[in-house]
Amino acid sequence: MTALSLSTRKATPTMVGYAGAIVTVLIWANWILATRHTAETQMGTIDLGLIRYGVPALVLAPVWWRTGLLPKGVPLKLLALMVCGSGALFFQLTTFAIQFTPASAAGILLGGSMPLAAALIGMLLFRERLDVTRWLGLGGIVAGVVILLARSLYGVQISWEGFTLLPLAALLWATYTHAFRRSGLSALQSSAIIAVWSFLIHVALAAIFGSSLASVPLPEIGLQIVSQGLLSGLAATLAYGLAVQALGGTQAAAFTAITPVLATIGGGFLLGEEIGMAGIAAAIVTGLGVALSTGLLARKSAQH
């Protein structure tokens, strides 16, 4: 076997991981905008959760039926961390907070916090080491988040829900990232199990607190089926799982720092939020931080 073929085989999983991470953040930015849009409708967070997890639970029914609701060999603690970290609890916290928070600020407080939380968990609990390049990358992400946050604070009043619940949700997602990495499940299996458990939890919530889906116009339900169910609930979860498997938890989470930039741009063009020089500066700084924190440049330097 030639050196070229060996290099190609090693590079392929990494490229799949990068592709999965990029697809994820593109969908997440759309999800923030679509969820922010629901603040102007009669749909509640339980209604959105039923759609978000009901669609992938149905599509992936053959997977979770074959795997079982409690997969063999997966500790219950890890399974609980996965379901809470990216399932029902995460979704309820983020959706509730986003409905009271401008899209640009939501992207900052959620997407910008995820890579930092994942890096801290990796270092404190799993003794992961970050080289100088990745430390610089995380510093760039922090700088970009600070610029965007300062801009938001200057022009927009952010509610307590955004300040408290979105960073907490980012910590939950980072916990899921590391738990999934160590569960031994595939991206498909993980997505299916999280979807069905989260759907069942939302069915219970609907039984207790009620649901307004029956009175929501069909076009609005169709929009959320695409945005919440097919894209965020199914495609993004699968893509992120592939990214974690290929890149590791800390590196995959680093890509989420692109979300604030995309959410800010989308908020400006689609929701009428203002984009100024601070937004452009934050986009450049955060983009450089993401490039460094993924370790891509460090690997290229090591090869020369």
Mean pLDDT of the chain: 82
pLDDT confidence band for 273 (50 / 70 / 90) = low
Share above pLDDT 70 across residues of the chain, in percent, rounded to a whole number: 88
List pLDDT tens digits, range 26-38: 888 888 887 777 7
The Cα 98–Cα 107 span in angstroms is 9
Residue 259 belongs to a domain: yes
Residue 164 belongs to a domain: yes
Residue 176 belongs to a domain: yes
Tokens of 31: 């999800």
Q: Determine contact, residues 111/256, Cβ cutoff 8 Å.
A: yes
The Cα 24–Cα 232 span in angstroms is 8
pLDDT confidence band for 39 (50 / 70 / 90) = low
Residue 135 belongs to a domain: yes
Domain that holds residue 160: 14-292
List pLDDT tens digits, range 63-116: 999 999 999 989 999 999 999 999 999 999 998 888 887 777 787 788 778 877
List pLDDT tens digits, range 120-170: 888 888 777 878 888 888 888 888 878 877 776 676 566 777 888 998 998
Residue 298 belongs to a domain: no
Residue 234: strand, helix, or coil: helix
Q: Determine contact, residues 87/197, Cβ cutoff 8 Å.
A: yes
Residue 20 belongs to a domain: yes
Lowest mean pLDDT among 27-31, 217-221, 234-238, 255-259: 255-259
CA-nearest of 102, 104, 86 to 49 is 86
Q: Per the structure, how many domains does the chain have? A: 1
Residue 119 belongs to a domain: yes
Residue 69 belongs to a domain: yes
Tokens of 91: 């979704």
The Cα 17–Cα 257 span in angstroms is 16
